[in-house]
Structures are given as C-alpha cells and as structure tokens.
Amino acid sequence: MNLIDGKKLSLEIKNELNKKIIELSEKLNKRPGLVTILVGENSASKVYVNSKIKTCAEIGINSKLEKLNEEISESDLLKVIKQYNEEPQYHGILVQLPLPEHIDEDTVIAAINPQKDVDGFHPVSVGNLVIGKDTFIPCTPFGIIEMLKRYNIETKGKHVVVVGRSNIVGKPIANLMLQKREAANSTVTVCHSATEDIASITRQADILIAAVGRPHFITADMVKENTVVIDVGINSIDAPELPKGYRIVGDVDFENVKEKASYITPVPGGVGRMTIAMLMYNTYKAFINIEKV
C-alpha cells in the first residue's frame, strides 16, 4: 500500500505558485487577489475560510474576507458580488457555501463573473468542463486529478468508479475522468443512493473515488485487491476519548481497506489539502487570464 500524501503534494503546488507569483509581482507590480464572501456564522465554513486566507498569505495572494450578516437579503448579496465583479484588484471571487436557506445558491453562483469563478461552479465553467474546453475546474476534482498525475498512477483505459453524484465532486470528477487528457481517459461508472448492489460495482473499480458523505461507507469487502482508493469524505464521528469529543474520518474504512489498496488517500491529510491548493492555482490562473500575462 502506498499512501497518497495530500499534505506533501499541496505544499509542492503552493511552493510552485509562490515562485510564479513572486516573479510576476516583480514584473507587473501586481499580485493575484481573492475575495471570500462569508454569509453568517457557520463554524465549519469559518474554519475553511480561515485556512484559505492563511494559504493566500503563505504564497503571496492578496486576500480579503467580506463577512456578511446571516440576515442579508439575496438582492443585497448580489449587489456585493456585482461590486467585486467590477473591482480589478480582485481576480477571484469565492462565495462560501452553504448559504442561509432564504438565499438561492444557484442565483448567487450565476451572478459571479465567469472570469473570476475560481470555485468552478458557474454554469459557464461547468459547461466548458463537460465539453472539454479550458476552464476553471472545481477544486476538489482538480485536486484528485493532480494526485493521480503526480503519483504517476495509470488511468488510461482503467475502470473508475465514482460513488456520489454531487455537483461539487461526483459529477465533475466523472466528467474529467472520461476526457481524453492526462490523468484521465478512463471508463467511468457513477454510483449513488439509488444504485442496486453497489458493492458488486465498486469491486470492479481499478480506481475508486468515494464522495458520498457517509463515514466508513466503503468497506474492505467492497474493494478488490490493488485498487487505487481516493477518499473525498470529511465526516466527524463521536470520539469521547479525544479532547474535542470527535474525530474526522473519510467515506472509506481506511484501516481495513488500506490492506487491499495499491494507493490510498488518508483523511485528514489527503484530498482536503489538495482542494485549497487548487483554489490557489485557480486564483493564479484568473490573474493570468484577466491581466493577459
């Protein structure tokens, strides 16, 4: 079993970006700018946003946090987005999800300038991804592709099974793995909550991507020998023996599945680290495109 070290890979990517940003800032006297819009007091969102801000500082991206009251109206939030669409010093706009129930996420995402859509969720970005055009790739699927590429894992012609069909992970990674591109060109099957006898399908996977949001859903009997296992899940389970009272686990029963896997990602320290690294890459890409470097 080989551990796919997301912490190590994300550090490599951040170091590469830092060098590029320093070179461009000296040449242009400008740096990439990212604004994160946080609505309300969701504790998980605040932790994630703080991690993004910290990473921006580490690699030389100018960042701003726009904190808005949970009671803000949808129309007022759209005005804030319009403001940042028009501000040239911000090349990336990220609206942290989830949003309060009274605000329609699809409307908000569609309001972001596609040139600044560093999350890769805008309908224009999604459409370009599906037809194979250059675009912003959603950060978690992008991170998975980079993991496969940088670990030289063969994907061409391999059977990739994706468990989960979300717009954020399942659908985009399935589309990416289908495409005739590096670290892809695979045969893809997507499983979900309505799939019958899911274990009979996951056992066919050469590469298994678990993005279902259920702790330890993928067990050893659902995986064949020498499978590459990519665990996207981030779930908290009770752990009274720990100071926090909980622990973070993935969608895969890591301790048992690792005995059968050829490669496997840990949780934490796997795909989650790559997600933030690829957000930084997308912000750098937005800067390059907007500034026409």
The pLDDT of residue 72 is 98
User: Which residues of the chain carry a pLDDT beneath 70?
Assistant: none
Q: Is 180 a catalytic residue?
A: no
Candidates 14, 20, 116, 119; catalytic one? 119
Domains of the chain: 28-113 (3.40.50.10860), 139-272 (3.40.50.720)
The pLDDT of residue 120 is 98
The pLDDT of residue 192 is 94
Q: Is-above-0.85 flag for pTM?
A: yes
> Residue 125 is encoded by which pair of tokens?
């970005």
Candidates 96, 117, 171, 231; catalytic one? 96
Which tens digits make up the pLDDT trace of 209-233?
999 999 999 999 999 999 999 999 9
Q: Is 251 a catalytic residue?
A: no
Candidates 14, 52, 158, 171; catalytic one? 52
The pLDDT of residue 1 is 86
The pLDDT of residue 238 is 92
Q: Is 52 a catalytic residue?
A: yes
The pLDDT of residue 43 is 84
The pLDDT of residue 79 is 98
